């Protein structure tokens, strides 16, 4: 079965809109907003670490919930409900001046985000795969990358006009209509029935998630989750710690991160299809590890900028390459495999802000905590090297770009 270009564009647009809502506006907008919250006195750095940790706990719970919702009869209703709920939670944060209430809202935001971040790309990938266009699936993350760039502007452009919890208002004003658009577009995607098994129940044959090929991929992805999260949570705050007042990177670090992310997604999508997802993933982790270590190796503007460019330009690439590589290793697992990977990713990344908070509480610096991220990414690089080549990987490599 094939699909005309217009249908493919609309499918990618629907998935992208969903990721903008939950991941760019609902989740990572917290990163450029954090320096303003600290200046307003709404939070201190330890409270910010705890908020990030609880958001990531929710993300893990949401990814685990997606394991239950991956069946075709539950995937779409669960996805749509979680997407709309996430937008409403972003709106609710505009009125949450109490820290305890904000903890609850960030936890709930993480749960709904985890569900959508698993199910929306999985739905688009399966729809594209059924039309022999799985090689385009990485482009669904373009919306998220554009959303990162937009969230930087929405956090900083009205900075002098808003204060405290009101700083969430621009995010909410965009999240609600985008959520409605995402639901409308994704509701149009119809998946073909799954291959029938020998039981006659119309389901694909059950296979183990962990085998000789997939286990190194899971272990690598755990390292990736822990490795990228410190820069992606604290980079603007790190810039304020390392750079003098008036340095343009104080406001621009997140913008460079988002721009690198946006420009890199088509590149990693292309490299994966041309070189193979495994080889491209090795390159992604090597560059990402260097980026996480850059503030330690070159303190100051050079290290901050290199961290922004290398981590921003690789972390989504590692996500899309891992998801495609996993599906090529176990093509019948579909959304279940995606949910398991992201649950592991979420579980690993929630440790990052928690460990950073412990280190800061003991008198350490935020910069020093980035060593943990660099080490985790080297772990990911080593395990990716051990992933065996598999004949089914050709399914993705041969898809057109």
Q: What pLDDT score was predicted for residue 392?
A: 43
Reported as a pLDDT band with limits 50, 70 and 90, residue 5 is: confident
Q: What is the mean pLDDT of residues 151-161?
A: 88
Q: Confidence band (pLDDT; 50, 70, 90) for 279?
A: very high
Helix or strand holding residue 3 (H, E): none
Sequence ranges of the domains in the chain: 1-190, 211-387
pLDDT range class, residue 255, cuts 50, 70, 90:
confident
- Residue 377: the pLDDT is 95
- Average confidence (pLDDT) over 282-302: 94
Question: Region 270-298: what's the mean pLDDT?
Answer: 93
Phi, psi of 156 (to 5 degrees): -105, -35
At 74-86, the pLDDT tens digits run 888 999 999 999 9
> If you average pLDDT over residues 140-169, what whole number do you get?
87
Confidence of residue 401 (pLDDT cuts 50, 70, 90): very low
In the predicted model, is pLDDT for residue 399 greater than 50?
no
Residue where the block lists tokens 């993480």? 110
Residue 314 has pLDDT above 50, yes or no: yes
Exposure string for 10-48, b = 16+ CB within 10 A, e = fewer? bbbbbbbbbbbbbbbbbbbbbbbbbbbbbeeebbebebb
Looking at residue 131, what is its pLDDT? 81
**What is the per-residue pLDDT for 22?**
95
Task: Pick the most confident of 197-206, 230-239, 316-325.
Answer: 316-325
Please give the pLDDT value at position 10. Answer: 92
pLDDT value of position 108: 96
pLDDT score recorded for residue 179: 96
Which strand (E) or helix (H) includes residue 43?
none
- What is the CATH topology of the domain spanning 211-387? Growth Hormone; Chain: A; (1.20.1250)
* Fold observed for domain 1-190: Growth Hormone; Chain: A; (1.20.1250)
pLDDT band at 140; cut points 50, 70, 90: confident
Sign, CA torsion 345/181/263/233: negative
- pLDDT of residue 102 exceeding 90: yes
- pLDDT of 207 reads 62
Under the banding of pLDDT at 50, 70 and 90, the label for residue 192 is low
Res. 106: pLDDT tops 80: yes
At residue 212, the pLDDT reads 75
Whether 1-190 shares its CATH topology with 211-387 is answered yes
The answer to whether the CB of 175 falls within 8 A of the CB of 26 is yes
- Using a 10 angstrom Cβ sphere, with 0-12 exposed, 13-18 middle and 19 or more buried, the burial of residue 172 is buried
Asked which of 1-5, 6-10, 88-92, 395-399 is least confident by mean pLDDT, the reply is 395-399
Supply the pLDDT for residue 236.
Answer: 82
What average pLDDT does this structure show over 112-117? 92
Please check whether residue 228 is in contact with residue 315, taking contact to mean a CB–CB distance below 8 angstroms. yes
User: What confidence score (pLDDT) does residue 374 get?
Assistant: 94
Residue 198 clears pLDDT 80, i.e. is over it: no
Per-residue model confidence as pLDDT tens digits over 329-368: 776 666 677 778 888 887 888 788 778 878 877 888 888 8
Q: Report the pLDDT averaged over residues 55-65.
A: 88
pLDDT in tens, 18-33: 999 998 899 889 988 9
């Amino acid at each position: 079965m094939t699909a005309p270009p217009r249908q493919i564009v609309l499918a990618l647009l629907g998935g992208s809109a969903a990721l903008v809502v939950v991941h760019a506006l609902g989740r990572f907008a917290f990163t450029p907003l954090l320096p303003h919250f600290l200046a307003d006195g709404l939070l201190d750095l330890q409270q910010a670490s705890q908020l990030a940790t609880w958001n990531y706990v929710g993300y893990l719970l949401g990814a685990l919930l997606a394991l239950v919702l991956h069946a075709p009869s539950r995937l779409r209703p669960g996805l749509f409900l979680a997407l709309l709920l996430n937008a409403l939670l972003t709106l609710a944060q505009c009125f949450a001046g109490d820290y305890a209430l904000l903890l609850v809202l960030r936890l709930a935001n993480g749960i709904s985000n985890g569900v959508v971040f698993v199910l929306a790309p999985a739905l688009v990938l399966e729809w594209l795969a059924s039309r022999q266009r799985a090689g385009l699936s990485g482009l669904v993350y373009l919306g998220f990358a554009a959303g990162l760039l937009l969230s930087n502007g929405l956090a900083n452009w009205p900075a002098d006009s808003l204060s405290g919890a009101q700083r969430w208002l621009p995010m909410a004003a965009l999240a609600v209509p985008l959520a409605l658009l995402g639901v409308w577009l994704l509701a149009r995607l119809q998946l073909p029935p799954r291959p029938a098994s020998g039981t006659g129940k119309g389901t694909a044959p059950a296979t183990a998630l962990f085998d000789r090929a997939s286990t190194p991929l899971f272990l690598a992805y755990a390292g990736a989750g822990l490795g990228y999260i410190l820069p992606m949570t604290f980079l603007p705050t790190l810039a304020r710690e390392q750079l003098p007042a008036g340095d343009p990177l104080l406001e621009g670090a997140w913008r460079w991160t988002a721009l690198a992310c946006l420009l890199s997604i088509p590149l990693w999508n292309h490299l994966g299809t041309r070189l193979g997802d495994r080889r491209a993933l090795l390159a992604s982790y090597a560059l990402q590890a260097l980026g996480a270590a850059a503030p330690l190796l070159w303190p100051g503007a050079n290290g901050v900028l290199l961290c922004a460019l290398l981590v921003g330009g690789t972390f989504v690439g590692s996500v899309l390459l891992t998801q495609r590589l996993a599906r090529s290793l176990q093509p019948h697992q579909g959304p279940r495999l995606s949910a398991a990977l992201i649950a592991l990713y979420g579980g690993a990344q929630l440790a990052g802000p928690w460990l950073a908070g412990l280190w800061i509480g003991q008198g350490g610096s935020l910069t020093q905590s980035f060593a943990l991220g660099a080490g985790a990414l080297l772990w990911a690089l080593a395990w990716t090297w051990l992933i065996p080549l598999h004949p089914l990987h050709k399914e993705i490599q041969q898809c057109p770009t």
